[in-house]
Amino acid sequence: MFPRFGNGISCSLLICTTLVTGCATSIGIRDPSKTAMMAAAASGDTGRAKELIAQGTEVNFTDRGLSPLGVAIIGGHLATARALLDGGATADLELEDGNRALTIAARQGNVEAVKLLLSFKTDPRAKNRSGETALQLAAWDGHATLVQPLIAAGADPNSRDASDTTPLLAAAGREKVEAVKALIQAGADVNAGGLKSGVTPLLLAAGSGHVNTVRALLAAGADANATASGVTALRIAAAMGNALMVKDLVAAGARINDRDSQGRTALTLARQGKHSDVVKILQAAGATE
């Protein structure tokens, strides 16, 4: 159901691993000074990076999809990254896959790197070629601590990528509960549908069996009766035999006798699945077939 996020970043990580293990001279750069700069960035050799900058070595170039700044961020070398930024590295330099240093740092969950880049006025709303922002990538991996600084810098909590996915959908679909809560607090729309089908975060969480995420969404006012393609969260939970989720949805006001396109209620689906505990819960709430 979900697209794979950050594939370009994963490729960049592999390239960086090659750099760190000492293969910088074979990555395709013919300029010795640039090769040296990439090696310094990959190893976190801040002193060497400063020397090269003082000698006039270019800092805003890419090789195989990475810049010196991107390499330093991937390696977690913040002192080197700061030296590069102080030496003229463009915080928003777009890499070959459309990612920037900020999206790399966000995918890693590196709070200090994100704050560093934001202090150099990198654009928190910038998107890669898949339409993903730093906030979406952070949400996908459940990096809740990145939500506040990105939002404070101007990130859009309701942005959409090329697959029509919002940050909240990304977090809800992978049971990243703390990220879900942080996004809601930051103003994410709990009822915004997406994935080109209108599926809401609640429906996505229900379909993934994520009880705690469902609870967080309901507590924030998610519509317990939202539908997408004729499906409701209650019927999903009943069909899956998820008694805890059924209880939560019923308590939140889910209509227990709604029918799908085949005339089935939540009770019908629970019976078909032989989920006796769910049948009892629904009957106690007044469910009929």
* CA–CA gap between residue 216 and residue 265 (Å, rounded): 25
Does residue 257 lie within any of the structural domains? Answer: no
Q: Is the pLDDT of residue 242 over 90?
A: yes
Confidence label for 21 from pLDDT (cuts 50, 70 and 90): very low
Q: Which residues contact 142 (CB under 8 A, 6 or more apart)?
A: 171, 174, 176, 178, 179
Number of domains the chain contains: 1
Confidence label for 97 from pLDDT (cuts 50, 70 and 90): confident
Does residue 175 lie within any of the structural domains? Answer: no
CATH code at position 79: 1.25.40.20
Nearest alpha carbon to residue 129 among 88, 90, 89, 97: 97
CB 156 within 8 A of CB 164: no
* CA–CA gap between residue 236 and residue 226 (Å, rounded): 12
pLDDT score, position 96: 83
Token readout for 146 is 């990145």
Does residue 54 lie within any of the structural domains? Answer: yes
Does residue 46 lie within any of the structural domains? Answer: yes
Q: Is the pLDDT of residue 16 over 70?
A: no
Confidence label for 29 from pLDDT (cuts 50, 70 and 90): low
Q: Which residue has the tokens 């976190």?
A: 44
Does residue 204 lie within any of the structural domains? Answer: no
Domain that holds residue 115: 1-153
* CA–CA gap between residue 70 and residue 72 (Å, rounded): 5
Flag the least confident range among 11-15, 33-37, 145-149.
11-15
Chain mean pLDDT for the chain = 91
Does residue 97 lie within any of the structural domains? Answer: yes
pLDDT score, position 30: 65
Please compute the mean of the pLDDT values over residues 109-122 and round it to a whole number: 98
Nearest alpha carbon to residue 11 among 135, 140, 99: 99
Task: Return the percentage of the chain with pLDDT > 70, whole number.
Answer: 90
Q: Which residue has the tokens 């019923």?
A: 250
Segments in 120-194 forming alpha helices (H): 134-140, 147-152, 167-172, 177-185
Does residue 130 lie within any of the structural domains? Answer: yes
Does residue 20 lie within any of the structural domains? Answer: yes
**Element (H or E) spanning 112, and its range?**
helix 111-119
pLDDT score, position 31: 83
Please state whether the predicted TM-score (pTM) of the whole model is above 0.85. Answer: yes
* CA–CA gap between residue 4 and residue 167 (Å, rounded): 14
Q: Is the pLDDT of residue 17 over 80?
A: no
Please compute the mean of the pLDDT values over residues 137-164 and round it to a whole number: 98
Confidence label for 7 from pLDDT (cuts 50, 70 and 90): very low
Please compute the mean of the pLDDT values over residues 78-90 and round it to a whole number: 99
